[in-house]
């Protein structure tokens, strides 16, 4: 079965510092896509960053970057210069070519300390 | 503005009283999907639709129905709601396929079944 695991239910970081959220996945597929979504208190789901598995270069979006380790099946999210507005639930998700579903992790709650 | 809308945003109902949650997108997306979100479980897919008149079961379809008569609309129907369907529901859409393409999420519908 294809699974996505986020082992950190909650993380906290001081404002302006850097934090890394972990995500691992399990698949035998060769072609897939990885996503990080943010869910602020408003509960809306917002795409943070996306990575194609066939690309070796790690995706980056402003203060957000990923460390994609394909062999280890790891896809961590690094948030630099953390801001109060980054406080949210963060979900890791994986999508496969063989079906039309996203497989989701359980989420990590990120707390930003002022 | 490109968006996915859901109505109602909040709903309290009683066991057995049929209800419909509407979902509409204005981006001409082919793929639409319904998820439910429960604490500690992340998002689980209920149903998805590849195009008009094409729908398929996701991971947790029991107790739900959907229809896709028009491209822009994808209502979620609970024929006889039960308390275990109390949850936060999200509708999402994407241009071609639900995995490779970035999904756009609606604001969510919080349902309480008494």
Mutation target to probe the B interface, by most B beta carbons within 10 A, among A25, A35, A101, A107 is: A101
Q: What is the pLDDT of residues B6-65, one digit of tens each?
A: 999 999 999 999 999 999 999 999 889 999 999 877 889 999 998 899 999 988 999 999
Determine the residue of chain B that is closest to A9 in CA distance. B40
Task: Identify all chain A residues contacting B92, using CB atoms and an 8 Å cutoff.
Answer: 45
What's the rounded Cα separation, in Å, for the pair A76 and A81? 16
**Cβ partners under 8 Å of residue B68, min gap 6:** B32, B49, B51, B52, B53, B54, B55, B74
pLDDT tens-place values along chain A, 114 residues long: 778 999 999 999 999 999 999 999 998 887 888 999 999 988 788 999 999 888 889 999 999 999 999 999 999 999 999 999 999 999 999 887 656 678 889 999 999 999
**Could you give the C-alpha distances from B83 to A33, B44, B64, in angstroms and in order?**
35, 17, 13
> Which residue has tokens 């996701």?
B58
Give the three-state DSSP class for B84: helix
Task: Report how far apart, in Å, the C-alpha atoms of B50 and of each of A86, B29, B47 are.
Answer: 33, 9, 10
Q: Per the CB < 8 Å rule, is A45 touching B48?
A: no
CA-nearest residue to A105 within chain B is: B42
Q: Do B42 and A91 touch (CB under 8 A)?
A: yes
Angstrom distance (rounded) from CA A15 to CA B64:
43
């Amino acid at each position: 079965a294809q699974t996505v695991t986020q082992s950190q239910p909650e993380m906290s970081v001081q404002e302006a510092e850097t934090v890394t959220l972990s995500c691992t996945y399990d698949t035998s597929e060769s072609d897939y896509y990885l996503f990080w979504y943010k869910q602020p208190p408003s509960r809306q789901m917002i795409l943070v960053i996306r990575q194609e598995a066939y690309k070796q270069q790690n995706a980056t979006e402003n203060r957000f970057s990923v460390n994609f380790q394909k062999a280890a099946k790891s896809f961590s999210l690094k948030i630099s210069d953390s801001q109060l507005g980054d406080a949210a639930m963060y979900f890791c998700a994986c999508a496969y070519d063989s079906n039309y579903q996203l497989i989701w992790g359980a989420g990590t709650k990120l707390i930003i300390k002022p | 503005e490109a968006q996915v809308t859901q109505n109602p945003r909040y709903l309290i109902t009683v066991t057995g009283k049929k209800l419909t949650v509407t979902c509409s997108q204005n981006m001409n997306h082919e793929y639409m999907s319904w998820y439910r979100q429960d604490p500690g479980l992340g998002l689980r897919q209920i149903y998805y639709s590849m195009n008009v008149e094409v729908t398929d079961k996701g991971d947790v379809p029991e107790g739900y129905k959907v229809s896709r008569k028009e491209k822009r609309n994808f209502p979620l129907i609970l024929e006889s709601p039960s308390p275990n369907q109390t949850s936060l529901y999200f509708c999402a859409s994407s241009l071609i396929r639900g995995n490779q393409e970035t999904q756009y999420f609606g604001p969510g519908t919080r349902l309480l079944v008494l």
